[in-house]
Amino acid sequence: MNDIIIIGAGTAGLSAAIYARRAGKKALILEALSYGGQIINTPEVENYPGIKNISGFDFATGLYEQAADLGAEIEYVRVTGIESNADGSKTVHTTDGDRECKAVIIATGAKNRPLGIEREEELTGSGVSYCATCDGAFYKKKSVAVNGGGNTAIEDAGFLSNFCSKVYVIHRRDEFRADVHEVEKLKAKENVEFILDSEVTALLGDDELTGIEVTNKKTGEKKELEISGLFIAIGQMPDNTAFASVVDLDEKGYIIGKEDCLTNTPGVFTAGDCRTKAVRQLTTAAADGAVAALAAAAYCG
Ligand X SMILES: Cc1cc2nc3c(=O)[nH]c(=O)nc-3n(C[C@H](O)[C@H](O)[C@H](O)COP(=O)(O)OP(=O)(O)OC[C@H]3O[C@@H](n4cnc5c(N)ncnc54)[C@H](O)[C@@H]3O)c2cc1C
Active site amino acids:
131, 134-135
Residue 230's CB is within 10 A of a number of other CB atoms, namely 25
Q: Is 261 in the site for ligand X (CB under 6 A)?
A: no
Instruction: Tell me the CA distances in angstroms from 262 to 18, 48, 102, 288, 289, one per residue in order.
Output: 19, 25, 15, 10, 12
Q: Is 273 in the site for ligand X (CB under 6 A)?
A: yes
Task: Indicate the residue among 211 and 272 with the shorter CB distance to ligand X.
Answer: 272
Q: Which of 155, 280, 291, 297 binds ligand X (CB under 6 A)?
A: 280
Q: Is 42 in the site for ligand X (CB under 6 A)?
A: yes
Sequence-separated (6 or more) residues with CB below 8 Å from residue 220: none
Q: Which of 5, 99, 101, 109 binds ligand X (CB under 6 A)?
A: 109
Cβ at position 157, least distance to ligand X in Å:
18
Q: Is 123 in the site for ligand X (CB under 6 A)?
A: no
Looking only at the bridges linking them, the beta strands covering 90-94 and 211-216 are unpaired
Chain residues 166-225 in contact with ligand X, contact rule CB under 6 A: none
Task: Indicate the residue among 243 and 299 with the shorter CB distance to ligand X.
Answer: 243
Q: Is 45 in the site for ligand X (CB under 6 A)?
A: yes
Residues 12-41 vs ligand X: string with x where CB under 6 A? xx----------------xxxx---xxx--
Cβ at position 13, least distance to ligand X in Å:
5
Cβ at position 105, least distance to ligand X in Å:
10
Task: Indicate the residue among 111 and 187 with the shorter CB distance to ligand X.
Answer: 111
Task: Indicate the residue among 29 and 225 with the shorter CB distance to ligand X.
Answer: 29
Q: Is 249 in the site for ligand X (CB under 6 A)?
A: no
Cβ at position 132, least distance to ligand X in Å:
10
Cβ at position 46, least distance to ligand X in Å:
7
Name the residues that contact ligand X, by CB under 6 A.
Answer: 7-13, 30-33, 37-39, 42, 45, 47, 78-79, 107-109, 112, 130-131, 134, 239, 242, 272-273, 280-283, 285
